[in-house]
Homo-oligomer: A and B are copies of this chain.
Amino acid sequence: MARETTRPGAAPRNYPKGERRRAQIIEAALAAFGQVGYRNASMVQLAAACGVSRAGLLHHFPTKESLLAAVLEERDRQDGEHFLESGALSQDGLAYFAGMLRLVAHNQANPLIVSLFAVLSSEATATDHPARPYFVERYARTRAEMQSAVDDLARRGLLRPHVDASRLAADLVAFIDGLQVQWLLSPDLIDMPDHLRTVLRSFIDAELP
């Protein structure tokens, strides 16, 4: 749990003990869900990993589903923080994709965050998975946001010929997701920001800021 005290955004030391404990549990669950999946992670093992009793864990998270929701929220918070810092939420397509590049570079330094997303998003494709609605909604939102950025580039004439702007958002999201799996399997062969930069260059007729 060394990251908990050094990572920016983690609960600082002067937070109430309960808050610190809660943040610790979320960190441990984030790692566990990303490694063995949500279904396979056990509350007993999670409690042991955080040094709390099962009752102590249930005090903070009465069900495994509530812990899952907190983990997904924490992941989105980290993502959003990083994306906002880079000013990428503007409707400026070039700024958006420059921010996306920075986010992917940030993720490449955080394998836990990447494997959490890769493992949970595919596990959640099962119709009875508690995170399925979350991922359906999240992908719809991500596609819509990215499509606004693509539309801005199209309006400004910055897309290369033969690019179908209407589906580019879904295609780029797919590419980024799939690349994560190849990177997790072969981190020495795949450099995610490099690949993304090359792919963006094949679609966008401009230098990214």
Contact = CB atoms under 8 A, between A and B. Distances in A.
B162 A123 contact: no
B125 A164 contact: no
Interface in A64-104: none
B170 A181 contact: no
Contact of A182 (B123, B174, B199): B174
A202 B164 contact: yes
A115 B119 contact: no
Contact of A125 (B119, B177, B189): B119
Interface residues of A, number: 47
Interface in A142-181: 160, 162-164, 167, 170-171, 173-179, 181
Contacts of A190: 170
Interface stretch (A3-11, A14-22, A34-42, A47-55): A34-42
A181 B181 CA distance: 12
Contacts of A171: 175, 179, 195, 198-199
Contacts of A203: 202
B179 A170 contact: yes
Interface of A: 35-37, 39-40, 115, 118-119, 121-126, 132, 135-136, 139-140, 160, 162-164, 167, 170-171, 173-179, 181-182, 184-186, 189-190, 195, 198-199, 201-203, 205
21 contacts: A39-B40, A118-B122, A119-B123, A121-B122, A122-B122, A123-B123, A125-B181, A125-B184, A136-B186, A139-B182, A139-B185, A140-B189, A162-B202, A163-B202, A164-B201, A170-B182, A171-B198, A173-B178, A174-B176, A177-B182, A202-B202
